[in-house]
Amino acid sequence: MTAPRHRGLRHLALRVIDLPRSRRFYEQLLGMKVVWEPDSENVYFSSGIDNLALHQISKGELESYDSSKTQLLDHMGVILDSPQAVDQMYREIVLSIESLGGRITKEPKLHRDGSYSFYFSDPDGNLIQALYEPTISELEWVEGKT
């Protein structure tokens, strides 16, 4: 088994039915702090070591939403040390992802909040974001901790 190229599954994005209600839940119950709120449909939190994104589902989806048939997980993410590490992982993954049943879904991109990432899917279509996120990626990492 090779060593991971990332710092762990420290990013999760959820699609939510009621963004203000979900925001209160994660702020008050789990102590998450808002790090970026680009608009009224999205909010990004940090616990200090993890990153959580909440995305309001559209009104059209909300009308037909059935929790017994639909999951609201948008994607999970692996945190990387730097934008250069994101590019390196992209170069390595692109060579073998299709033979393993996955695919690249979005090319590397710099985001408005200073993060940098690309997306790929596993064989079942679950999205994974390879992400450099300044508040999490730049934490000091000690083997066996954090």
Domain layout of the chain by residue ranges: 11-137
Distance CA 96, CA 109 (A): 21
**How many angstroms separate the CA atoms of 121 and 5, rounded?**
17
Q: Which amino acid appears at position 2 of this protein? A: T
Instruction: State yes or no: pLDDT of 60 exceeds 50.
Output: yes
pLDDT of residue 1: 43
Structural class in CATH, domain 11-137:
alpha beta
Q: Tell me the pTM.
A: 0.71
Residue 27, class by beta-carbon neighbours within 10 Å (0-12 exposed, 13-18 middle, 19+ buried)? middle
Would you call 118 exposed, middle or buried from its count of C-beta atoms within 10 A (0-12, 13-18, 19+)?
A: buried
Question: Once rounded to an integer, what is the mean pLDDT over residues 85-90?
Answer: 95
